[in-house]
Amino acid sequence: MNLKWEYCATAPSNIAFLKYWGKSAEDTQWPANDSLSMTLANCVTETSAMRADLRDHQFYFGNTLYQRSDQRWAKVYQHLDRLSAAFGMRERLIIRSRNSFPDSCGIASSASGFMALTLAALACWNDLESFEAFESHGISRNDLAQCARMGSGSAFRSIFGGYVQWDRGPSPDQQVVQMVEGQWILHDVIVLISEEAKPMSSSEAHRLAWTSPLFPVRLAGSMQRLEHMKDALVQKDMSRLGPLLEIEALEMHAVMMSSTPAVRYFGNATATFLVEVRRMRMELGIPVYFTIDAGPNVHLICEPAMLARIEAELTKSKRRYIVDQVGSGPSLIRRNPDV
């Protein structure tokens, strides 16, 4: 056993096309509906783990050490505790993590963050330097996804590249399904609307979904929407996928807004921008469609041929944005930090 090895995982964020909203079992994090997402290429979290002779783990985000007592990062320590209990690991780890995207801009980073943390920590404890090594050790990608989702549900889908499906639960035989491996190149242009902190964490808001009268209606229709979306993805048909993306995002936000208490993740600035998106489509003839997660930022989904025109419009209206696209999934390396 070499105490010096550092295990580094790079894990992507993902943007949900069909959203996971509401849990059927809170303590075990089972989602109430099936979801489908596109794994991103550029918005990633890089996390390294090294064994250390310490009383507690140490978690660095950027260059700052955050303690267990720091409320914002307590979930990281809880996740390490959960993993160490599940795998019978006693050694403490030094974890260093950073995002490739600005962390203050309100893009959900929990999917990439918890997947990278899970991979780095388990690789380090078990001395495994690749996904093949994990497999030989009896830990499949599905097992890794199941571990990551305990930190953040949406992290489950970041185990693969391309388009990834996560089925509702509880389900003991649940498998993560990689749908169409990046065959259709789509862009996600993330338009940064606001940097304000979320009014409520998504874990708390998931719980309220059941209080919305719209939630049962949403659940009843989600399987059919999933089939239509998958079909549009296979056919590479933006004129069918696009409207489904928008209806889906608006429906999830309608559930949020009709919960008790109501949860509102976007306000006038986002709503005004949605009108701009519609104008790009209706007046300028650009096939671009939006989706929105649990926050105010807008994800514009489009094909590569449309990117330049969209960027020109965003530049004209002085918008801040990040260009991303479908990516190939997480990666893992082992290195000697002294070399």
Number of neighbours of residue 240 by Cβ within 10 angstroms = 14
Q: Are 158 and 117 in contact (CB under 8 A)?
A: no
Take residue 287 and report the two structure tokens written for it. 């096939």
Site size with ligand PMV, rule: CB under 6 A: 14
Which segment (14-22, 87-95, 232-240, 324-332) binds ligand PMV by CB under 6 A? 14-22
Which of these, 9, 109, 38, lies nearest to 331 by C-alpha position? 9
Q: Are 123 and 135 in contact (CB under 8 A)?
A: no
Of the candidates 152, 165, 212, 291, which one interacts with ligand PMV according to CB under 6 A? 152
Smallest distance, ligand PMV to C-beta of residue 37, A: 6
Q: Is 19 in the site for ligand PMV (CB under 6 A)?
A: yes
Q: Is 203 in the site for ligand PMV (CB under 6 A)?
A: yes
Q: Identify which of residues 19 and 187 has a Cβ nearer to ligand PMV in the complex.
A: 19
Contacts of residue 100, Cβ cutoff 8 Å, sequence gap at least 6: 42, 43, 44, 45, 46
Q: Is 44 in the site for ligand PMV (CB under 6 A)?
A: no
Q: Is 142 in the site for ligand PMV (CB under 6 A)?
A: no
CA pair distance 23, 293, nearest whole angstrom:
16
Residue 338 is given by DSSP the state: T
Q: ∠ at Cα 114 (113, 120), nearest 5°?
A: 90
Q: Identify which of residues 255 and 306 has a Cβ nearer to ligand PMV in the complex.
A: 255
| Residue found by looking up tokens 């250390």 in the block | 52
Smallest distance, ligand PMV to C-beta of residue 100, A: 18
Residues 70-129 within binding reach of ligand PMV (CB under 6 A): 108, 110
Q: What are phi and psi of 222, to 5 degrees?
A: -70, -30
Q: Identify which of residues 51 and 157 has a Cβ nearer to ligand PMV in the complex.
A: 157
Q: Identify which of residues 66 and 166 has a Cβ nearer to ligand PMV in the complex.
A: 166
Chain residues that interact with ligand PMV, rule: CB under 6 A: 16, 19-21, 35, 108, 110, 152-154, 202-203, 293-294
